[in-house]
A = this chain, B = another copy of it.
Amino acid sequence: MIFIRKIANRLSKKAGMSPGTLVHVGEERTAEPKITIIDYDRDNYQESIVENVEECFSYKDTPTVTWINIDGIHKVDIIEKLGKHFGLHPLVMEDIFHANQRPKMEDYDSYIYIVLKMLWFMDEADFKAEQVSIVLGNNYVLSFQEVEGDTFNNLRERIKNTKGKIRHMGSDYLAYALLDSIVDNYFIIIEQLGDMIAELEDRLIEDPSPETLQGIHDMKNELIFLRRSVWPLRELISGLERTESPIFKSSTSVFLRDVYDHTIQVADIIETYRDILSGILDIYLSSVSNKMNEVMKTLTIIATIFIPLTFVAGVYGMNFEFMPELEWKFGYLAVWIVFMLITLAMYLYFRRKKWL
C-alpha cells in the first residue's frame, strides 16, 4: 500500500485549478524552509543562511556564481517571491511545488529548469525519494528540495576548499555538479539493492517461504519506482546536451556526457536486476512445486506400503467360521512373510522410480 501511495500521492489535489495556481502538492510539512546561499568565484567564497527570502535578490545580477538552496517547498509565498524576482514562469513555479514531477528539463531562454528525483537510503531496507528542482540562470543556480538533508555535502566541501575545478567554472558547471552528485548516489542505491537481491537469492536456496515471495514482490516494486526515476533522466540529460541555450557552455558538455553514461549504466543495471528477479521468482515457484512433490511422495510411499498391508491384516481379522489359514500352525508367520514381501516389492518399485 505504501508503495502505491508513493506513486500516486495527492495527484488529484490540483485538478480543476487554473494553471499556474501555486498549491504545494506533496507530503505536508511544518518546518520553516531553510535558505542557504553560497556565492563564489575563483578567489572569493561566501556562505550564509538567510531568514528572509528578499536577501537573495541582490545575488541575481552579480558576476559571481551564486547557489541558492531552499530546503522545504511547502511555503508558497517564499517560492513565489523568489520565482517572481528571478522571472520564473508560473508553470515552473507550479512544477516546483508539485512534488510528483516526472524528471525533465525545460529551456526558458533566460534560464533552464531541471527537475529530478534525489534518492538516498534512510535505513537498511528502504530508500527515500525527494524531488529536486534546479533553476540554472546565467550566473546563479536555484535548487529546491522537499526537506533538509541531501547528497550535496561533498560538493559543498569541494567548493569551499577549492578542490576540483568547480571554482574556475560557471553556473552551468555547478548545475552539472549537482546532477552528477545526484546520479552518483543512484549507484549507492543500486549497490544496496544488489545486496538485497543477493540476500533474497541466498534465502531462496536455504529456505523458501512466503516471506521470500513478499521480498521479491517488494524488490520488484522498488525497481519499478527506481526505473521511473531513472529512465526520464536519459532524456533530460541528452536534452541538456543538445540545448542551444548559451547558458550551457560547450566546455561543460563533455561532463554531461559522463553523467549521461552513468545514467545509462544505472538504467542498464536496473533492467538486469529485473531480469534476475524474474529468474528468482521462477526458482521460488518451482521450489514450492518441488516441496509439494516431496510431501506427496512421502504420503504416497507410506500409504502405498501400508494400505495393502492393512488390507491383508484386515482379511485375517474377518470372523468367517471357515478360514483354513487361521488354523495353520505357521499362518501368523506366513502372514508376516507376506508383509515383508509386499514391503520389499514396494521398496524396489520406488527405487526404480527414483522416489527413494
The residues of A with any CB-CB pair to B shorter than 8 Å are 1, 3-5, 7-8, 10-12, 14-21, 89, 91, 94, 100-102, 104, 106, 151, 153-155, 158, 163-166, 177, 180-181, 184-185, 187-188, 190-191, 194-195, 197-199, 201-202, 205, 207, 210, 213-214, 217, 220-221, 224, 228, 254-255, 257-258, 261, 264-265, 268-269, 272, 275-276, 279-300, 302-304, 306-311, 313-323, 325-332, 335, 353-355
Contacts and interface: CB of A to CB of B under 8 A. Distances in A.
Nearest to A318: B316
A349 to B, nearest CB: 8
Contacts of A15: 151, 181, 184-185, 187-188
A71 to B, nearest CB: 19
Nearest to A288: B289
A306 B305 CA distance: 11
Contacts of A300: 295-296, 298-299
Given A184-B14, A198-B5, A221-B276, A320 B295 contact: no
Given A163-B18, A283-B214, A307-B306, A319 B318 contact: yes
What is the count of identical protomers in the complex?
Answer: 5
Contacts of A21: 164
A202 to B, nearest CB: 6
Given A191-B12, A288-B286, A89 B18 contact: no
A302 B306 CA distance: 10
Nearest to A320: B332
Nearest to A296: B295
A131 to B, nearest CB: 13
A1 B257 CA distance: 32
Given A217-B282, A299-B304, A335 B311 contact: no
B304 A180 contact: no
A16 B282 contact: no
A17 to B, nearest CB: 7
Contact of A16 (B151, B220, B221, B294): B151
Contacts of A104: 261
A165 B91 CA distance: 13
A268 B102 contact: yes
